[in-house]
Amino acid sequence: MARVVSIQFGYAGKLYDFTCGALELHAGDRVIVETDKGRGIGAVVREPREVPGSELHEGIKQVLRAATVEDMESAARSKIREKDAFAYCQKKISERDMEMKLIRVEYLFDGSKAIFFFTADGRIDFRDLVKDLAYAFHTRIEMRQVGVRDEAKMVGGIGICGRELCCSSFLREFEPVSVKMAKEQNLALNPTKISGQCGRLLCCLGYEFETYSTLKKNLPKCGRYIQCGEVCGEVVKQNVLAATVTVRTEEHREIILRGEDIRPDQIMDKPKKQPREQAEAAQQPPGRQARDNRPSQKNPHRRPDRKGKGRDTKEKS
C-alpha cells in the first residue's frame, strides 16, 4: 500500500496524483513536488489515501516536502517575472508583426524554464522570437500553442448566464459537446445563444443532457397519435421537466396529459389521410356510388371531325 495525494498546480486545474510517504498533509496545503519538467509548487486537493501498489500508474512522482515561507516568496517573485516577460514578448510580437495572440506566461518554480502560451490560426515560425526571449531572460524558453477553449480557461471571464466561466472556476477537464444536446433540451439553435466565450458550444449543454434523455423516454414523441380514454389526438408539445404532453384533438382542442397516465399500447402512428376522391366517394350514398362506378358506353358510330368534335357517321335511311 502507498499513500497517494491529489494535487493541482492552478486554480480549477487538472488533478495529478503523487506519493507522499509519511507526510501529514491536508486540503489546501502548499507542497513542493517533483515533476517531469522539474520541481513545482502545488496545492493539495484530496488528502492522502491508501492505494494498492498494483493500482499506481507507472512513473508516479512523489511529494518532496511542505512549502515554506521562502518557497511562497519565491513563487510571488515568479509571478512578477511572468508579468514582465508577458509585456516584453507582446512587444516583440508587435514589432515582428506576427499573427499570433499571447495568452499567458508561466515560470517553473525553480526558474529554469519560461512557458509562453499563445493561439494562432496556423503554424508560426517563432525561432527569432525565441532567441530574443532567451537573450532577455537568460532561461530556457518554450512556446506552447493552445486552442480556444484552453484560452478561455486561462483568461477567464463572465458567461452569458452572468456567472464566472465554468472552465475557469471548477471544470477541470473538457467534455465533448454536440448540437444533439441542445436539440434534446429543446433549445433554440441560435449560435449566439448556445456558444460560449471561446466560440464553441457551451460546456453546460452536457450537464442536464442525460436527465433530459432519461425523462424523454417516458413521453411520446411529437407527431405521434394518442388514444387515452376519451382523449384522441396528436402530440404537439412536450414538457420534459413536468413530465406532461399536450394533445391536440380533431376538434382543435389542446389537452394536457401526464406521461404516467399514457400506456404504450395507447400510442400509435398518426393515421394517414385518405385521397380526396376516396373521401368524397365514402360520403356518397351507396346507390350513387354504384352508378358512378358503371363503365361508360361510347357510340361506335361517332368519330371526331377535323375540329376535334365528334360527328355521327350512321347512314341515313
pLDDT tens-digit readout, 200-252: 999 999 999 999 988 888 888 888 888 888 888 888 888 888 889 898 988 88
* Residue-level pLDDT at 225: 87
Rounded Cα gap, residues 292 and 314, in angstroms? 29
Closest CA to 63 of 1, 11, 21: 21
DSSP summary character for residue 111: S
Instruction: Give yes or no for residue 67 having a pLDDT over 50.
Output: yes
Amino acid in position 264: P
261/306: higher pLDDT? 261
Q: What is the pLDDT of residues 114-165, one digit of tens each?
A: 999 999 988 889 999 999 999 999 999 999 999 999 999 999 999 989 999 9
pLDDT range class, residue 305, cuts 50, 70, 90: low
Give the C-alpha separation, 90 to 105, whole Å.
Answer: 11
Number of neighbouring beta carbons within 10 Å of residue 181: 22
Residues 82, 129: Cα–Cα separation, whole Å:
17
- Bigger pLDDT: 286 vs 152: 152
Mean pLDDT of the chain: 84
Of residues 228 and 90, the one with the higher pLDDT is 90
Q: How far apart are the first and last CA of the chain?
A: 125
The Cα–Cα gap between 90 and 99 comes to 12
Q: Which amino acid is at 89?
A: C
Contact 205, 211 (CB under 8 A): no
Instruction: Evaluate if residue 253 carries a pLDDT over 60.
Output: yes
Residues 259-283 as b or e (16 or more Cβ within 10 Å = b): beebeeebbeeeeeeeeeeeeeeee
Task: Considering the domain delimited by 74-146, tell me its CATH architecture.
Answer: 2-Layer Sandwich (3.30)
